[in-house]
């Protein structure tokens, strides 16, 4: 009994010991948290007060409004661009550094061997080399702007190093940023051309298909089969290039990295002057890819957005005009089937002779590891891209890539002129220097003009229509030039009273030049045109409402026929009767609280999976472009009574559609149970703005990413919200913009999730909810800022 009492006393001490230990851990955690919090807070940008600045000629004023938009007022363009660089670095230096590193193929230096594959890809794609070549072609003024901007960025880097105030991300990764250069800004510009202007993957997959499927099956994977190119088809079959296992689909930009834009003439507006709307679609990240600014000097007064790391304003408005873009999506990349010399892999056959390729040493430095030797070979056509994963084998054929963006281009000079344009004539003249990526520009002026131009370098080919790789060993193939600037698609003041684009087909068969055969699905454009055609007396509020429109015209086209397939196959048991009833009663809006969008989109995504995925390696399937466009055509043809080879081989359209439906319902039930009343699109369709560091730890994810939110819309609605297989919404319009030309002293914007890249800033995630709900903020040009923070940069004289 006495021993039991002693044992009980000993056991009674343990809770006190554990409480003491636990308390110590809590105190330590609090101390660490306070230290970390203090360090992070120290690097928060200084935005209110005065700072002396050696690089300035005159004093500059920066007023950040209530949404964190910097309004910069300078006495010269030189000081304006210097300050623009300084301010962007204040808010976005880590993002800027990551962008230049990724585009240059230098991520491994700071994140380790995990980025070696990415670095090889971007070294091979030669974006930095193209930026260096472009710099040489700039005039004196363009080089000055780049230099002034770099001075401003470096002024902040020097200040942060002196004061120990580098953004915390640099501390996490254990490095300090290098000085900014003019080439860094141009390299980021080339990255945007990469993100918005590629079709090499479609050529590679079609090449694979010709060599692995019957011609009948292969031709249905083309948007339009190249009937009159037998020699090119034969060359692809005779010289197979390895595709499976050669490329990382995760490094390919999102398919149809698109946008919406439109402009409405004064004849259809309440004010009698035009309205313009633009919402470019890109990845949704923290911080946003776009940075909103207002720049004012005696020479210009312009407001809008720019990519962090680049001077000027690429999209927006000034006192007289407004403009916006969508991606044209032309075929600006060609693959060439190159024949390497078996005796010397750096030589390639051309017109009967071995031609020496340029060989660049691109040794990759890797944090904490040995350097990785790497070479890039460049033929007369461009870099060898199928050499990215090249090892010791001796292939009979390789792909090289010719691309408009690898040539010297001068987009910054175009931006500088656009910012100062006062009418359509001066704006169109500015566009002549905007070559890559090719963009659909819509324009409006306060003189009532509305206009459109598809802009950029679009190749004219000796043979072929860019649907297949072409032989690289013959001068019979290649480019002869570009579509003449004056012959690019153009519209001014149309009778219909509006112009709209959404990556849709912009020319018909009468257009004399090839742009592409692979346009985006038409549903966003058709909905925009439907609203603008039927309406009148439009206001800016109507344009904002249309940008948030969730009407699904994809369902309007196909749903009745697809339901018919279910009823045909399910007639005996009626197992899916309740779901079919719900789909028939759906208003065909992709509302977050509705069940029908969940069923429809899961079903649509199953169609290519059920038909195609089992027939090809996983990476080839992931590379396959326009899966929706391909299966759309299969559905249209089959429901019209003309099923193609894939549908016939599967067992008919009803079986294919029914099987896809059953699989999608099983997935939904696995996620949300079998009660239809419990299903909601928003429970699956969840918005995320991930930070670059959030994947490293759940702790980083918790603090750096805004809370996930249910969201309506989809990849086919005007309110673009494209999603991954797990439902994560990762692609849409990071910036939405509406301008009323009757009053260009202000315009309406949303930048999701916010302006600042600093976790302690009030503008880090402050627009995430606004992005979901369509709550725009007003940005002024006239300096009438009611709430704000004022930073005076004092020139040292």
Q: Is residue 778 part of a domain?
A: no
Q: Answer whether residue 746 shows pLDDT above 50.
A: yes
CB 532 within 8 A of CB 268: yes
Say if CB 67 and CB 777 are below 8 A apart. yes
pLDDT at 228: 72
> Could you tell me if residue 29 is inside a domain?
yes
DSSP 170-211: HHHHT--PPPP-HHHHHHHHHHHHHHHS--HHHHHHHHHHHH
**Between vectors from CA 24 to CA 18 and to CA 26, what angle results, nearest 5°?**
100
| Cα 351–chain centre separation | 39
Q: Of 436, 431, 348, 364, which Cα lies nearest the Cα of 397?
A: 348
Residue 341 falls inside a structural domain = yes
Q: Is the dihedral of CA 456, 460, 465, 470 positive or negative?
A: negative
- Phi, psi of 13, rounded to the nearest 5 degrees: -75, -25
pLDDT score for 388: 57
CA angle (516 as vertex; 232, 338 as ends), nearest 5: 35
Backbone angles phi, psi at 638, to 5 degrees: -65, -45
Q: How does strand 70-73 pair with strand 290-297?
A: parallel
Q: pLDDT: is 386 or 216 the higher one? A: 216
Residue 191 domain-assigned (yes or no): no
Instruction: Give me the residue label for tokens 């088809």.
Output: 233
Q: Is residue 56 part of a domain?
A: no
Tell me how far apart the terminal alpha carbons of the chain are, to the nearest angstrom: 90
CATH value at residue 355: 2.30.120.10
E strand or H helix that includes residue 260: strand 259-264
**Least confident span in 1-5, 132-136, 640-644:** 1-5
b/e sequence 162-182, b meaning 16+ C-beta within 10 Å: eeebbbbbbeebeeebeebbb
| Strand, coil or helix: 712 | coil
Question: Pick from 391, 376, 386: which is nearest to 339 by CA?
Answer: 386
Residue that finishes a domain, picked among 406, 440, 460: 406
Whether 615 and 212 have beta carbons less than 8 Å apart is answered as no
Residue 289 lies in a domain: no
What would the two tokens of residue 287 be? 């911080």
Residue 348: inside a domain: yes
Can you tell me the distance from the alpha carbon of 379 to that of 401, in angstroms, rounded to the nearest whole number?
Answer: 9
Predicted local distance difference test score (pLDDT) of residue 40 = 80
Cα distances (Å, whole numbers) of residue 622 to 119, 192, 451, 468, 609: 21, 22, 38, 18, 10
360-375: per-residue pLDDT in tens? 999 999 999 999 999 9
Helix ranges restricted to H, 105-139:
108-111, 116-125, 127-137
Nearest alpha-carbon partner for 539 in 142, 264, 779: 264
Mean pLDDT within 706-734: 95
Q: With respect to residue 92, please indicate whether it lies within any of the assigned structural domains.
A: no
**Per-residue confidence band for 500, with pLDDT thresholds at 50, 70 and 90:** very high
Q: Which residue has the tokens 């890809």?
A: 121
pLDDT band (50, 70, 90) for residue 196: confident
For residue 482, the model assigns a pLDDT of 97
Q: For the chain, give the longest Cα–Cα distance.
A: 104
Q: What are the tens digits of pLDDT across the range 552-610?
A: 999 999 999 999 999 988 776 688 999 999 999 999 999 999 999 999 999 999 999 99
DSSP string covering 473-489 = S-TTSSEEEE--GGGS-
**Which SS3 state, helix, strand or coil, does residue 372 take?**
strand
Domain's final residue, options 679, 714, 745: 679
- The DSSP-derived string for 301-330 is EEEEEEETTS-S-SEEEESSEEEEEEE---
Under 8 Å between Cβ of 712 and 255? no
In angstroms, the CA 304 to CA 294 distance is 7
pLDDT band at 31 (very low <50, low <70, confident <90, very high): very low
Query: Per residue in 32-42, is it b (16+ CB within 10 Å) or e — as a string?
Result: eeeeeeeebee
Q: Measure the CA–CA gap between 747 and 739, rounded to whole angstroms.
A: 5
pLDDT of residue 254: 72
Interval 628-680: pLDDT, tens: 999 999 999 999 999 999 999 999 999 999 999 999 999 999 999 999 999 99
Q: To 10 degrees, what angle do helices 182-196 and 140-163 make?
A: 110
Q: How far apart are CA 450 and CA 82, in angstroms?
A: 33
Q: Are strands 470-471 and 290-297 parallel, antiparallel or unpaired?
A: unpaired
Low-confidence winner among 25-34, 73-82, 204-213, 612-621 (lowest mean pLDDT): 25-34
Q: Helix 596-612 to helix 553-569 angle, to the nearest 10 degrees?
A: 70
| Statement: residue 270 has pLDDT above 80 | yes
Q: Give one word for 503, left, alpha or beta, with left for phi > 0 and alpha for psi -120 to 50.
A: left
Percentage of the chain lying above the pLDDT 90 cut: 84
Q: How many CA atoms lie within 13 A of 719 on its CB side?
A: 22
Can you tell me the distance from the alpha carbon of 312 to that of 185, in angstroms, rounded to the nearest whole number? Answer: 11
Is it the case that residue 716 has pLDDT exceeding 70? yes
Whole-angstrom CA distances from 304 to 220, 419, 547, 761 are 43, 10, 17, 21
State mean pLDDT over 675-698: 93
50 phi, psi to nearest 5 deg? -135, 145
Average pLDDT, the chain: 92
**Euclidean distance between CA atoms 111 and 132, whole angstroms:** 25
Q: Is the predicted pLDDT of residue 400 greater than 90, yes or no?
A: yes
pLDDT of residue 224: 83
- Whether the per-residue pLDDT at 24 is higher than 60: the answer is no
Angle at which helix 553-569 crosses helix 653-672, to 10 degrees, equals 100
Backbone angles phi, psi at 375, to 5 degrees: -125, 145
What's the rounded Cα separation, in Å, for the pair 117 and 123?
Answer: 10
Helix axes 182-196, 77-104, angle to 10 degrees: 60
Sign of CA dihedral 713, 715, 718, 720: positive
Q: What is the rounded distance in angstroms from the CA atom of residue 489 to the CA atom of residue 485? A: 9
Residue numbers of the domain that contains 599:
553-588+595-679
**In 274-423, which ranges are continuous DSSP H helix?**
411-419
Q: 499: closest CA among 523, 524, 532, 522?
A: 532
pLDDT tens for 520-551 read 999 999 999 999 999 999 999 999 999 999 99
Answer yes or no: are the C-beta atoms of 188 and 309 closer than 8 Å: yes
Residue 149's nearest CA partner among 20, 311, 32 is 311
Cα distances (Å, whole numbers) of residue 439 to 19, 83, 451, 719, 748: 64, 28, 14, 20, 22
Selection from 199, 207, 206 nearest residue 255 by Cα: 199
Count of structural domains within the chain: 3
Average pLDDT of the segment spanning 752-775: 96
Predicted confidence at residue 256, as pLDDT, reads 56
Q: Which pLDDT score, from 0 to 100, does residue 23 have?
A: 44
The answer, yes or no, to whether residue 11 has pLDDT greater than 50, is: no
CB within 8 Å of 76: residues ≥ 6 apart: 57, 58, 297, 298, 299
Q: In which element (H, E) is residue 517 found?
A: none
DSSP string, 432-477: TT--SS-EEEEEEETTS-EEEEEES--EEESS--SSS-EESS-TTS
Give residue 783's pLDDT band: very low, low, confident or very high (50, 70, 90). confident
- Once rounded to an integer, what is the mean pLDDT over residues 682-687? 98
What is the Cβ-side half-sphere exposure of residue 494, based on CA atoms within 13 angstroms?
16
Residue 22: per-residue pLDDT = 42
The pLDDT of residue 314 is above 50: yes
- Alpha-carbon Rg for the chain in angstroms: 28
Domain boundary among 644, 679, 714: 679
pTM greater than the 0.85 cutoff: yes
What sign for the dihedral angle of Cα 139, 141, 145, 147?
A: positive
Q: Name beta bridge partners: 204.
A: none
Mean pLDDT across 56-85: 97
| Coil vs helix vs strand at 280 | strand
């Amino acid at each position: 009994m006495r021993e039991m009492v002693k044992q009980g006393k000993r056991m009674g001490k343990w809770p006190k010991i554990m409480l003491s230990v636990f308390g110590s851990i809590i105190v330590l955690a609090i101390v660490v948290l306070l230290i970390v919090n203090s360090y992070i807070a120290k690097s928060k940008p200084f935005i209110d007060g005065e700072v002396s600045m050696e690089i300035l000629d005159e004093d500059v004023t920066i007023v950040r409004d209530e949404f964190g938009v910097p309004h910069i007022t300078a006495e010269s363009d030189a000081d304006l661009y210097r300050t623009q660089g300084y301010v962007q670095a204040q808010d976005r230096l880590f993002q800027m550094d990551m962008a230049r590193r990724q585009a240059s193929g230098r991520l491994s230096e700071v994140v380790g061997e995990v980025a070696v594959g990415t670095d090889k890809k971007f070294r091979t794609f030669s974006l930095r080399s193209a930026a260096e070549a472009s710099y040489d072609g700039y005039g004196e003024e363009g080089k000055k702007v780049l230099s002034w901007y770099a001075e401003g960025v470096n002024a902040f880097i020097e200040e942060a190093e002196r004061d120990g105030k580098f953004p915390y991300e640099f501390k996490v990764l254990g490095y300090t940023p290098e000085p900014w250069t003019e080439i860094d800004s141009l390299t980021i510009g080339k990255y945007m051309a990469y993100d918005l202007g590629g079709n090499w993957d479609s050529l590679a997959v079609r090449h694979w298909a010709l060599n692995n499927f019957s011609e009948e099956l292969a031709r249905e994977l083309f948007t339009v089969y190249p009937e009159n190119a037998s020699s090119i088809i034969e060359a692809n079959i005779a010289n197979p290039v390895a595709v499976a296992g050669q490329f990382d689909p995760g490094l390919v930009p999102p398919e149809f990295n698109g946008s919406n834009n439109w402009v409405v003439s004064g004849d259809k507006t309440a004010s009698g002057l035009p309205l313009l709307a633009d919402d470019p679609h890109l990845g949704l990240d923290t911080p946003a890819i776009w940075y909103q600014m207002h720049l004012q000097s005696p020479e210009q007064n312009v407001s809008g957005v720019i990519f962090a790391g680049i001077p000027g304003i690429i999209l927006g408005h000034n006192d007289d005009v407004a403009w916006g873009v969508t991606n044209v999506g032309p075929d600006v990349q060609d693959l060439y089937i190159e024949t390497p010399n078996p005796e010397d892999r750096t030589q390639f056959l051309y017109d009967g002779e071995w031609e020496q390729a340029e060989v660049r040493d691109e040794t990759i430095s890797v944090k904490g590891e040995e350097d990785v030797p790497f070479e890039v070979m460049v033929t007369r056509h461009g870099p060898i891209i199928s050499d990215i994963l090249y090892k010791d084998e001796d292939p009979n054929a390789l792909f090289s890539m010719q691309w408009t963006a690898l040539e010297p281009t001068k987009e910054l000079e175009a931006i500088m002129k656009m910012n100062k344009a006062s009418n359509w004539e001066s704006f169109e003249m500015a566009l002549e220097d905007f070559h890559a990526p090719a963009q659909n520009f819509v324009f409006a002026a306060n003189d009532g003009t509305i206009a459109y131009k598809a802009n950029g370098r679009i190749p004219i080919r000796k043979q072929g229509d860019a649907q297949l790789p072409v032989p690289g060993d013959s001068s019979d193939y290649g480019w002869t030039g570009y579509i003449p600037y004056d012959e690019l698609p153009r519209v001014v003041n149309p009778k219909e009273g509006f112009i709209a684009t959404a990556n849709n087909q912009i020319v018909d068969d009468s257009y004399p030049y090839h742009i592409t055969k692979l346009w985006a699905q038409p549903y966003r454009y058709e909905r925009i045109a439907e609203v603008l055609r039927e309406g009148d007396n439009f206001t800016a509020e109507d344009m904002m409402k249309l940008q948030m429109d969730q009407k699904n015209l994809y369902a309007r086209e196909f749903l009745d026929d697809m339901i018919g397939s279910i009823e045909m196959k399910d007639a005996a048991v009626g197992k899916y009767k309740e779901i079919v009833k719900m789909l028939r009663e759906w208003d065909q809006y992709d509302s977050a609280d509705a069940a029908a969008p969940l069923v429809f989109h899961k079903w649509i995504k199953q169609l290519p999976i059920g038909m195609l995925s089992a027939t090809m390696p996983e990476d080839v399937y992931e590379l396959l472009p326009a899966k929706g466009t391909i299966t759309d055509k299969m559905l249209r043809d089959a429901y019209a009574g003309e099923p193609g080879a894939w549908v016939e081989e599967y067992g008919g359209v009803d079986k294919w559609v029914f099987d896809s439906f059953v699989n999608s319902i099983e997935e939904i039930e696995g996620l949300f149970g079998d009660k239809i009343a419990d299903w909601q699109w928003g429970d699956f369709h969840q918005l995320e703005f991930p930070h670059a560091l959030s994947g490293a730890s759940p702790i980083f994810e918790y603090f750096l990413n805004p809370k996930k939110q249910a969201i309506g819309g989809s990849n086919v609605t005007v309110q673009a919200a494209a999603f991954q297989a797990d439902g994560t919404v990762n692609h849409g319009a990071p910036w939405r913009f509406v301008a009323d030309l009757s009053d260009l002293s202000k315009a309406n914007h949303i930048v999701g999730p916010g302006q600042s890249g600093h976790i302690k800033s009030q503008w880090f995630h402050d627009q995430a909810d606004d992005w979901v709900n369509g709550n725009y903020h007003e940005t002024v040009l006239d300096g009438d800022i009611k709430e704000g923070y004022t930073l005076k940069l004092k020139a040292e004289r």
